[in-house]
Amino acid sequence: MKNKVALITGIGGQDGSYLAEFLLSIGYEVHGIVRRHSVSENQTSRLSSCYEQLHLHYGDVTDLSSLIRILQKCNPDEVYNLAAQSHVRVSFDVPIDTSMVTGLGALNLLEACKLICPEARIYQASSSEMFGNCIDDDGFQRETTRMMPVSPYGCAKLFAFNACRNYRNAYDMFISNGILFNHESPRRGSNFVTSKIVNGAVAIAMGEESELQLGNLEARRDWGHAKDYVRAMWMMLQPDVPNDYVCSTGVSYSVRDVCEYVFSKLDMDYKDHVVVTQKYLRPEELNDLKGDSGILREELGWEPEYTFETMLDEMVLSTKKYYNIEGINAV
């Protein structure tokens, strides 16, 4: 029996690398799209554990011709669109680029799949940022919650989300949106707040830094682990009928909570080192994001394996190992 073939855009990122490993572990042939970069190792540094097993292609979701060429070459059974300019704060600085990659890039991929492989099952990485500050009366956000994004990133994701629903209905394509809440790991980019806190705390514990500058410490997010969430991505493409699913833990923690936990694991008090700085505040902020993943759990049987604490423990331990640190306490 022929192995299923999957194509992943954004394969070099946190989610793409974990998804590639997961799909390989269950017998898939995995293809990925990487953008040409002058420092090529930056594109594949997260893929070291499985690099030799992958089929990588140069391309870009903003270049329709490259997508058509790659789809013709690999003829995928499943397509996972994880490509995006995914930093919310940065999206205010580069709104056009964010819209082109995160929004129109998704539309390019949909159109290419419609032309080349209309039977392929497509996963679109949607985001809880699409909700903005719209919250249901019980304090949760779910598939039916009103969507009013408050960042260029959220706006671009909402465009892609609606494009997927349009192509699903208009062309009878199998397309599922995964509305993912925040998910972290040791592979999270260093400019994302959880990684910034972990890296900063370790640097302070090593004596290399004395303070950590952050933005809004009261912002609350529903944080899970990327490994749990990429497993959910795959599960969303396995039913007979496509759907849109919220993926979340259902519990929110503040940035302050992250600081307190991480610094305490290193025998420090975050209050002695964390400084709130104006330059890291967003022009418009989300207050409390917390998701209800009841449909995903009930229909597909998904459950997270990591907790908030075990996720952060893994991030701290990984950072210590990276710097070959033995003398400071953690985990």
In angstroms, how far apart are the furthest CA atoms of the chain? 60
SS (H, E, C) the chain: CCCCEEEEECCCCHHHHHHHHHHHHCCCEEEEEECCCCCCHHHHHHHCCCHHHCEEEECCCCCHHHHHHHHHHHCCCEEEECCCCCCHHHHCCCHHHHHHHHHHHHHHHHHHHHHHCCCCEEEEEEEHHHHECCCCCCCCECCCCCCECCCHHHHHHHHHHHHHHHHHHHHCCCEEEEEECCEECCCCCCCCHHHHHHHHHHHHHCCCCCCEEECCCCCEECCEEHHHHHHHHHHHCCCCCCCCEEECCCCCEEHHHHHHHHHHHCCCCHHHCEEECHHHCCCCCCCECCECCHHHHHHHCCCCCCCHHHHHHHHHHHHHHHCCCCCCCCC
* Three-state secondary-structure class, residue 331: coil
| Domain CATH code at residue 31 | 3.40.50.720
Quick check: is 254 in a domain? Answer: no
Quick check: is 285 in a domain? Answer: no
Quick check: is 85 in a domain? Answer: yes
- Assess whether 129 carries a catalytic annotation: yes
Residue 10 Cα to chain centre, angstroms: 10
Quick check: is 103 in a domain? Answer: yes
What is this structure's pTM? 0.92
- Looking at residue 309, what is its pLDDT? 97
Given the residues 153, 245, 261, 306, the one annotated as active site: 153
Quick check: is 20 in a domain? Answer: yes
Read off the DSSP letter of residue 285: -
Q: What span, in angstroms and rounded, lies between the C-alpha atoms of 154 and 90? A: 12
Given the residues 21, 29, 78, 129, the one annotated as active site: 129
Quick check: is 278 in a domain? Answer: no
Quick check: is 287 in a domain? Answer: no
- Looking at residue 51, what is its pLDDT? 76
- Looking at residue 89, what is its pLDDT? 84
Q: What is the pLDDT along the chain (331 residues), one digit of tens a residue?
A: 789 999 999 999 999 999 999 999 999 999 999 987 644 555 577 887 787 889 999 999 999 999 999 999 999 999 999 999 988 888 999 999 999 999 999 999 999 999 999 999 999 999 999 999 899 999 999 999 999 999 999 999 999 999 999 999 999 999 999 999 999 999 998 889 999 999 999 999 999 999 999 989 999 999 999 999 999 999 999 999 999 999 999 999 999 999 999 999 999 999 999 999 887 776 766 678 899 999 999 999 999 999 999 999 999 999 988 877 665 555 4
Domain region containing 14: 5-183+223-247
The answer to whether 87 and 194 are in contact (CB under 8 A) is no
- Assess whether 153 carries a catalytic annotation: yes
Domain count, the chain: 1
The two three-digit tokens of residue 103, written as one number: 């929004």
Given the residues 126, 127, 185, 293, the one annotated as active site: 127
Quick check: is 266 in a domain? Answer: no
Cβ count near 52 (within 10 Å):
7
- Looking at residue 53, what is its pLDDT? 85
- Assess whether 111 carries a catalytic annotation: no
- Looking at residue 157, what is its pLDDT? 97
- Looking at residue 286, what is its pLDDT? 66
- Looking at residue 194, what is its pLDDT? 96
The two three-digit tokens of residue 252, written as one number: 């929110």
